[in-house]
């Protein structure tokens, strides 16, 4: 029961570089989400997707791009990483009873 897997789990990158965080789920849930978690803030929604090829912005989408060509994958790309994007990123999916399942997180540091 793998659930949701994120990769990489830990990443250090330089300002201006493009970074892609991968997310894969094994349940075929329609809805998937990307959140970021920062000290002093709750989980904040970056982007979400209702199905393959359907994505929409959340609260803090600037500087991020997503795609969803297949139901099971939902990668998040930082087009030109900035230090303010240093954070922990969680991918999640929604089960039919509205329970959200989270991946284990990707710790990203931008130097």
Partner 1 sequence: ILNVEQSPQSLHVQEGDSTNFTCSFPSSNFYALHWYRWETAKSPEALFVMTLNGDEKKKGRISATLNTKEGYSYLYIKGSQPEDSATYLCAWHDRGSTLGRLYFGRGTQLTVWP
Enumerate binding residues for partner 1 (CB under 8 A). 31, 33, 35, 40-45, 48, 50, 56, 58-59, 90, 94, 97-105
CB of 52 to partner 1, least distance (A): 16
In 3D, which of 97, 89, 70, 93 has the Cα closest to residue 3? 93
Q: How far apart are CA 47 and CA 33, in angstroms?
A: 6
CB of 102 to partner 1, least distance (A): 4
Cβ count near 24 (within 10 Å)? 18
Q: Looking at beta carbons only, is 35 or 81 nearer to partner 1? A: 35
Cβ count near 95 (within 10 Å)? 11
Q: Looking at beta carbons only, is 18 or 26 nearer to partner 1? A: 26
CB of 45 to partner 1, least distance (A): 7
CB of 103 to partner 1, least distance (A): 6
Q: Looking at beta carbons only, is 58 or 75 nearer to partner 1? A: 58
The CA distances from residue 8 to 40, 57, 63, 75, 109, in Å, are 24, 23, 19, 11, 12
């Amino acid at each position: 029961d793998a659930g949701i897997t994120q990769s990489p789990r830990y990443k250090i990158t330089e300002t201006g570089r493009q970074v892609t965080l991968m997310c894969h789920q094994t349940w075929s849930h329609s809805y998937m989400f990307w959140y970021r978690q920062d000290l002093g803030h709750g989980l904040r929604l970056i982007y979400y997707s209702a199905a393959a090829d359907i994505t929409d912005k959340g609260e803090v989408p600037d500087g991020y791009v997503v795609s969803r060509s297949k139901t099971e994958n939902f990668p998040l790309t930082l087009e030109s990483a900035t230090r303010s994007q240093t954070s922990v990123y969680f991918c999640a999916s929604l089960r039919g009873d509205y329970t959200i399942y989270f991946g284990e997180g990707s710790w990203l540091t931008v130097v």
